[in-house]
């Protein structure tokens, strides 16, 4: 059988070129730590990686939203605890005033203290959250504003924060829900009717500072204060349940991120041990091919005639 000289050289060149390219590829995989250099390397893996990266970006946004929701819920819980403390103080003061044993000066002093509690509650209602927005407000502006002796409470429900695909959480409540006892919840989530806690406390303060005060003037004030405290506790319990949900979702996303990273690593990262062994094997074959080519290309007819 005869083999053309050009065919011999072409085959040798193609073989060594292929081995050289494979060597370069393996060295690149080792140096970069990535086994995929282009979509053509593994189209299925590249498509899967694109989906994983898209999910990772989405979850990062959700994790940030969960952090915001957690911060607002904690601030809301702290503020509601402070509101409860203020209502408890008001209850103690009214109980003291209802005994009828105080002189006018002491009674009026208690009235001033309760007026101070109203001011404190208004400030708590008007607090800002970490985003600089009204903590207990909605789309109505400031949640509790004194206007001519009355108190306007934000009633429009606040927007929910997205925390997952098709999931969201309402991180705070409106001042109307916190400071309104009774009333009817309308279709749009606002509250109609009921007793305004701030207005009720303001009325108690005015009664205590009146010169015409009698023990019966306080009427159902203690019962009203008890109902107001119960309403705040109800809202606080609701926020607590949402905080638990946020914690669970945060944990879930952390676990999902770990699983996704493991999957990504299996698809994209270089297996150093296997790749180094493959590189050594390829270099050995390349060296043997080069040596064989050198030996065969050096032969001539005179070598056979010796």
Read off the tokens for 56. 């990772």
pLDDT above 90: residue 74: yes
Angle, vertex CA 30, rays to CA 25 and CA 34, nearest 5: 80
Q: Which CATH number fits domain 55-261: 2.30.29.30, 3.40.640.10, 1.20.1330.10, 1.10.3720.10?
A: 1.20.1330.10
| 154 DSSP 8-state letter | -
Q: Domain locations in the chain?
A: 55-261, 270-306
Q: Which backbone phi and psi does 37 adopt, to 5 degrees? A: -105, -15
How far is 115 from 121, CA to CA, in rounded Å? 10
Global pTM value: 0.72
What are the E-state strand segments in the chain? 144-147, 150-153, 161-164, 167-169, 180-181, 184-185, 191-192, 195-196
How far is 182 from 193, CA to CA, in rounded Å? 7
pLDDT above 60: residue 299: no
Res 258: pLDDT: 84
Read off the tokens for 277. 């062994």
DSSP SS3 for 213: coil
| CB-CB contact of 271 with 29 (8 Å) | no
Question: Mind listing the pLDDT tens digit for each residue in 36-63?
Answer: 666 656 667 767 777 778 877 878 888 8
């Amino acid at each position: 059988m005869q083999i053309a000289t050009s065919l011999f050289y072409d085959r040798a060149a193609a073989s060594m070129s292929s081995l050289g390219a494979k060597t370069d590829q393996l060295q690149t995989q080792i140096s970069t730590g990535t086994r995929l250099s282009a979509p053509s390397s593994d189209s299925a893996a590249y498509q899967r990686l694109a989906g994983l990266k898209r999910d990772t970006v989405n979850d990062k946004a959700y994790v940030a939203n969960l952090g915001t929701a957690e911060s607002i819920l904690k601030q809301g819980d702290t503020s509601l605890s402070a509101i409860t403390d203020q209502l408890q103080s008001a209850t103690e003061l009214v109980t003291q005033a209802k005994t009828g044993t105080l002189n006018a000066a002491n009674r009026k002093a208690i009235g001033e203290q309760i007026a101070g509690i109203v001011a404190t509650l208004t400030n708590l209602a008007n607090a800002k959250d970490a985003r600089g927005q009204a903590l207990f407000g909605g789309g109505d502006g400031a949640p509790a504003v004194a206007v001519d002796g009355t108190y306007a409470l934000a009633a429009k429900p606040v927007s929910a924060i997205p925390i997952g695909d098709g999931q969201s959480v309402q991180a705070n409540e409106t001042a109307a829900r916190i400071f309104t006892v009774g009333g009817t919840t309308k279709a749009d989530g606002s509250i109609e009717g009921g007793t305004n806690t701030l207005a009720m406390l303001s009325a108690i303060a005015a009664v205590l500072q009146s010169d015409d005060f009698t023990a019966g003037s306080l009427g159902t004030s203690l019962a009203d204060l008890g109902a107001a405290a119960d309403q705040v506790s109800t809202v606080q319990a609701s926020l607590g349940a949402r905080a638990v949900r946020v914690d669970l979702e945060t944990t879930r996303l952390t676990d999902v991120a770990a699983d996704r990273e493991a999957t990504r690593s299996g698809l994209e990262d270089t297996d150093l041990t296997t790749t180094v062994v493959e590189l050594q094997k390829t270099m050995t074959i390349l060296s043997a091919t080069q040596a064989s080519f050198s030996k065969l290309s050096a032969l001539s007819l005179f070598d056979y005639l010796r």
